[in-house]
Amino acid sequence: RVLESDLRQALADNALNLYYQPQVDGASGVLVGFEALVRWTHPVRGEIPPSVFVALAEETGLIITLGDWVLREACREAATWAPSLKVAVNLSPRQFQKPDLPETVLAVLAQTGLSPDRLELEVTESVIINDMARAISILRRLKGFGVRISMDDFGTGYASLATLQAFPFDKMKIDRSFVAQLGVDPQAAVIVRAVLSLGRSLRMGVVAEGVETSAQRRFLADEACGEMQGYLFGKPRPIGDYAEMLCCPD
Ligand code: G
Ligand code: G
Ligand code: MN
Ligand code: NA
């Protein structure tokens, strides 16, 4: 496939980009970190959506090279920020099938000098599907370094309450589809409240994704949602666009 060889070339040419989206404390609105999101501008076809090329990378195995690049680039960048700021990096299920993932992460932390407690790895429920015991063991080793693990897109997939109990997640990210329905569908408020309550009971942090309006923000703050992310606070952008927010190591 042409797009596959173009993606291979882009990886070889270091031609992908990382965008960064702010994450803020739910109560105060203070910046706590950024999620790194990969972008590809194809030389002929222009911007290719990550849903397309990340999926292609997963099918072809290129996700390993792509994922390593994203991790290294995000950690290198975050090491230059104020030490209070964390970086969240998405991991694909394929990256979990490589038993050396923890060693890769450890090597990147060592190379970039980023403190492990400033790295959050976002995984979806699909990491569970293949080999649950192995996934748990990999997550435990990562956590042993001090790295935090978030369950991404919570509520949209297969995660049962048993999964939440068995997996050593530090955080849940409430999928933006629920946040979008706040104030529209009364059921959404019920679900979001239930997830926040579950997070408190299981001592997991909760991040609300896709916060776009101040009404959504107010609802989430009133319900003591720990962290928020969404266009209301900032879109994914090149880090230079957020330069003034990164300064002043504390
Ligand atoms: O970035 P949005 O802006 O369009 O992201 C679309 C999807 O692509 C999301 O599900 C997101 O998790 C995924 N994605 C973005 N960047 C990365 C990445 O670096 N690695 C992986 N595995 N997925 C990513
Ligand atoms: O699946 P994951 O959460 O990793 O992907 C994040 C995706 O959500 C990216 O595509 C990002 O561009 C998108 N996103 C982030 N904030 C908002 C928002 O406030 N509204 C909408 N519609 N999408 C958002
Ligand atoms: Mn994510
Ligand atoms: Na998400």
Q: Which residues surround ligand 3, an ion (CB under 5 A)?
A: 90, 122, 152
pTM over 0.90: yes
Which numbered atom of ligand 2 lies nearest the CA of 51? Answer: 10
> Would you write out the chain's pLDDT as a tens digit for each of its 250 residues?
799 999 999 999 999 999 999 999 999 999 999 999 999 999 999 999 999 999 999 999 999 999 999 999 999 999 999 999 999 999 998 998 888 999 999 999 999 999 999 999 999 888 777 778 888 899 999 999 999 999 998 888 777 777 788 888 999 999 999 999 999 999 999 999 999 999 999 999 999 999 999 999 999 999 999 999 999 999 999 999 999 999 865 5
Which segments of the chain are extended strands (E)? 17-25, 31-42, 46-48, 86-90, 119-123, 148-154, 171-174, 205-208, 227-229
Residue 116 exposed, middle or buried by CB count within 10 Å (0-12, 13-18, 19+): middle
Using a 6 Å cutoff on CB, does residue 92 contact ligand 1? yes
State in Å: Cα 89 to ligand 1 middle.
9
Give the whole-angstrom CA distance, residue 54 versus residue 89. Answer: 14
Q: What angle do CA 61, 44, 62 make, to 5 degrees?
A: 5
The token duo for 85 is 């700021």
Name the residue of 176, 178, 232 whose CB sits within 8 Å of the most ligand 2 atoms, as the mutation to test its pocket.
176
Evaluated on CA atoms 59, 65, 70, 75, the torsion sign reads positive
Starting from the CA of residue 230, give the closest ligand.
2
Q: What is the pLDDT of residue 27?
A: 97
Exposure string for 154-192, b = 16+ CB within 10 A, e = fewer: bbeeebeeeebeebebbbbbbbbebbbbbeeeeebbebb
